[in-house]
Amino acid sequence: MRPYNALYWKGGNLNWNRRWELGNGVLGDMGSHLIDLPFWALGLHRPTSVVSEGPAADEIACPPWQMATWEHPARSGNPNWAEPTKLVWYHGAEGMRHRSEYLQPLVGDVTKIDDWSIGVAFIGPQGVLVADYGKWVLAPQEKFADFEPPKPFIEPSLGHYQEWIHAAKTGGESLCNFSYSGALIEHNLLGNVAHRAGKQLQWDAAALAASNAPEAAWLLTKEYRDGWGV
């Protein structure tokens, strides 16, 4: 464990957050925002496996590009969740190239995937929905030409700060309470564990362990500095 170096802060969070000792790279950063969409919409929770493609793992720095794939079992609660689900993450120039090569043929002329700096694609038997936090498109275009989106049915958020205050005052829960957000972050960071382990992990959520990779156990926690243990 290295002592603090002021140069870590030079360049802001996009510098220090790309080092394992201080952060979790792009997946640990933007994954919280983007994977939240399918995680919530599809009722995802604990994956059964995860594998990561990218450059060779580095001891100090997080990968500049990555393609991580999680497998989720069928879920209850919605008929659309009755089948296993695959979730794939892409980042970095090489990752985005893989993303565009896969998605562009599926959406055709509806949109140019390279124009989406961020976003989520839901791929199902009826077509493809590409969305971010401000826009969405459906493909194939001719099939959804007359589609009318449903009226909003989820109450607008009060905002992170106000939700936290409201939960503290009422004993209620925020939208991103720990039972939800903890599972989401565990899910995302397993992509980094798979990257550093260099193999597909068979994930046993109940045991908090990769059943086929005991050698990866050290990547699941760390030794905290004195006074900072949890």
Q: Is domain 15-211 in CATH 3.30.360, yes or no? A: yes
* Partner residues linked to 53 by β-bridges: 67
CA 74/CA 42 separation, integer angstroms = 10
Q: Does residue 45 contact residue 71 with C-beta atoms inside 8 Å?
A: no
State how far the Cα of 173 lies from the Cα of 164, in Å rounded to an integer.
8
Q: Enumerate the domain spans of the chain.
A: 15-211
Distance of alpha carbon 18 from alpha carbon 60, whole angstroms:
9
**What value does the mean pLDDT take over residues 21-28?**
93
**71-125 tens-digit pLDDT:** 999 999 999 899 999 999 999 999 999 999 999 999 999 999 999 999 999 999 9
User: Looking at the DSSP assignment, which residues form a beta bridge with residue 89?
Assistant: 68
The tens digit of pLDDT for each residue in 169-200 reads 999 999 889 999 999 999 999 999 999 999 99
8 Å CB contact between 17 and 24 = yes
Q: Which residues pair with 163 in a beta bridge?
A: none
pLDDT > 90? residue 223: no
Q: Indicate the helix (H) or strand (E) that contains 146.
A: none
User: Can the peptide bond before residue 3 be classed as cis, meaning omega within 30 degrees of 0?
Assistant: no
Burial 165-198 (b: 16+ CB within 10 A, else e): eeeeeeeeebebeeebeebbbbbbbbbbbbbbbe
pLDDT band at 9, cuts 50/70/90?
A: confident
